[in-house]
Amino acid sequence: MPELTFTPVIGIEIHIRLKTDSKIFCSCSTNTDAPANTNICPVCLGLPGSLPRLNNQVVEQGILTGLALNCGISPKSLFFRKSYFYPDLPKGHQVTQCDFPITTEGYIEVHDDNGNLKKIRVNHLHLEEDVGSLHHSASDGRLEGADTSYVDYNRCGTPLAEIVSEPDVASAREAVEYVTTLRRRVIYSGASDVELEKGMMRFDANVSMKCSDGRWGRKVEVKNMNSFKALERAIEFEIKRQKKLMLNGEEVLQETRHWNDAKGVTSPSRVKEFYRKFIVEPDLPPLIITQEWVDRMKAKMPEMPDVKANRYVSEWGIPREVADVITDDKNLAAYFEACVAAGANPVRASHWIRTEVLRVLNENQLKISDFKMKPETLAALVSRVDDGKISTTQGKEVFDYMFANNSDIDETVSKLGITEGGVVGNALNDIIQSVIKANPDVLEEIKSGKDKKGKKLKFLQGLVMKETKGQAKPQEVAEAIAEAVK
């Protein structure tokens, strides 16, 4: 009997907080960091007599998000009331879109576990309001072990886009690439900053298993994952758990499970509900989106990060891993392209940005928007290193000085006493002769043929480079020493 094999079948549901000045159905601020229960009003709280009014900015951010995911935009969509009772929902229902969402099908391209490109289909994106937030008295902030819980309604009514994929994801790694790619695209669109540390992106995973003997396990929804690492670990755990149950002939219950990141396990939360709990929202008319409106939003869409990275690779020959790093930040990509436009070699500029620029940004906890060095200045430095006017070692010294002092390249080269073109000719030969004369034992070992691996030659080269303060070209130094020791 052949060994049983199992194929994971995974769908991802993502909530993204849209970037707007006010909430989805009222004029309250979306600042959730304000003192508890200060950015609220009768509409947020669903008080009797209050009426919602749809925020136009929310609709436009929803359209941009849909376009970033290759979705079609629905000319007509509806809002519904989703009824359930929980302390963070003062209305007793959540206003959301259900059967008639703002977008139709879309997709995100990722790589499967074999490195092949595949599409993860997006079933739809719909708009909805967020709920309040609960704060528990336990020292770790968890519900478990807390004596008291408090509710803050500031978050109620902040606008969300919920993005529901088809069950096309086949591994935990694929899931992470999907949400990572999706996040970058949404950021590029301008619809949201998607800062994970601020809770702007939350995801749930629907996981089931298909067995080679034809059996299917029931779908399990895993919640409470707030980082890419947590998503990966939770899916990996759930795949193993369900596989073990099916191998033992046990039933996989269709339920909602809670991910405990500290323990690295999922635990039952509630049995999945099957009854219908939606009614059309009577206080909101249908949302009508004209083609003209969609076209205006399309005109605002920038080149997407994965498309941009592919262009860097195909047109400029930039390594894929470098292109991915640069395009991860829209502003960093713009800075890089400005360097190229200023005359820098694209490959050289990309490596300088990946190494030196990102190094000083990380060391000083800065964003690229805080970086004072103009792209034209970095382009001039890259070009001089590329042309051999100054060495790579000198270039890094110049870069650090320009960053620290906000100076231009000519001023910096003069200040550091760097001779463009390096130490050459008689000056270089004099330094080499001085180094050789100071190390007769090394010279004797080289001439006797004992320096089989060339370590002694490299030792002399290092001394010469030190004497020239990095201003000589390493290749010229190596050739000159080899000639001198003859």
DSSP string, 320-342: HHHHHHHHTSHHHHHHHHHHHHT
Position 298 in a domain: no
Question: Measured between alpha carbons, how far is residue 127 from residues 23, 79, 124 in Å?
Answer: 12, 8, 10
Query: Are 203 and 118 members of one domain?
Result: yes
Q: The tokens of 389 are what? A: 């006017």
Q: Are residues 38 and 154 in the same domain?
A: yes
Cα gap 460→472, rounded to integer Å: 14
Which of the listed residues 275, 293, 311 is the one where a domain comes to its end? Answer: 293
52 with 149, same domain? Answer: yes
How far, CA to CA in Å, does 389 sit from each of 129, 373, 384, 394? Answer: 59, 21, 5, 10
- What span, in angstroms and rounded, lies between the C-alpha atoms of 380 and 399? 11
What pLDDT score was predicted for residue 456? Answer: 66
In-domain check, residue 240: yes
| Same domain, yes or no: 355 and 456 | no
Does 363 fall in a domain?
Answer: yes
Number of domains into which the chain is organized: 3
144 and 249 co-located in one domain = yes
Among 293, 318, 351, give the residue marking a domain's end. Answer: 293
Q: What is the pLDDT of residue 149?
A: 87
Q: What is the pLDDT along the chain (486 residues), one digit of tens a residue?
A: 578 899 999 999 999 999 999 999 999 999 988 999 999 999 999 999 999 999 999 999 999 999 999 999 999 999 999 998 888 899 999 999 988 999 999 999 999 999 899 999 999 999 999 999 988 877 666 666 678 889 999 999 999 999 999 999 999 999 999 999 999 999 999 999 999 888 899 999 999 999 988 889 999 999 988 899 999 999 999 999 999 999 998 999 999 999 999 899 999 986 555 555 889 999 999 999 999 999 999 999 999 999 999 999 999 999 999 999 999 999 999 999 999 999 999 999 999 999 999 999 999 999 999 999 999 999 999 999 888 788 788 889 899 999 999 998 988 888 887 766 554 445 566 677 776 777 777 666 667 666 666 676 677 667 767 766 666 667 666 666 676 666
Residue 479 shares a structural domain with residue 393: no
Residue 481 CA to residue 432 CA, distance in Å, equals 7
Which of residues 415, 448, 471 is at a domain's end? 415
State whether 287 and 307 are in the same domain: no
133 and 252 in one domain?
A: yes
Q: Which residue bears the tokens 């550091």?
A: 416
- The reply to whether 1 falls in a domain is no
275 in the same domain as 329: no
| Domain of 334, in residue numbers | 303-415
347, 394: one domain: yes
pTM above 0.75, yes or no: yes
Residue 171 sits in the same domain as residue 39: yes
Is residue 142 assigned to a domain? yes
In the chain, helix, strand, coil percent, each to 5?
Answer: 40, 20, 40
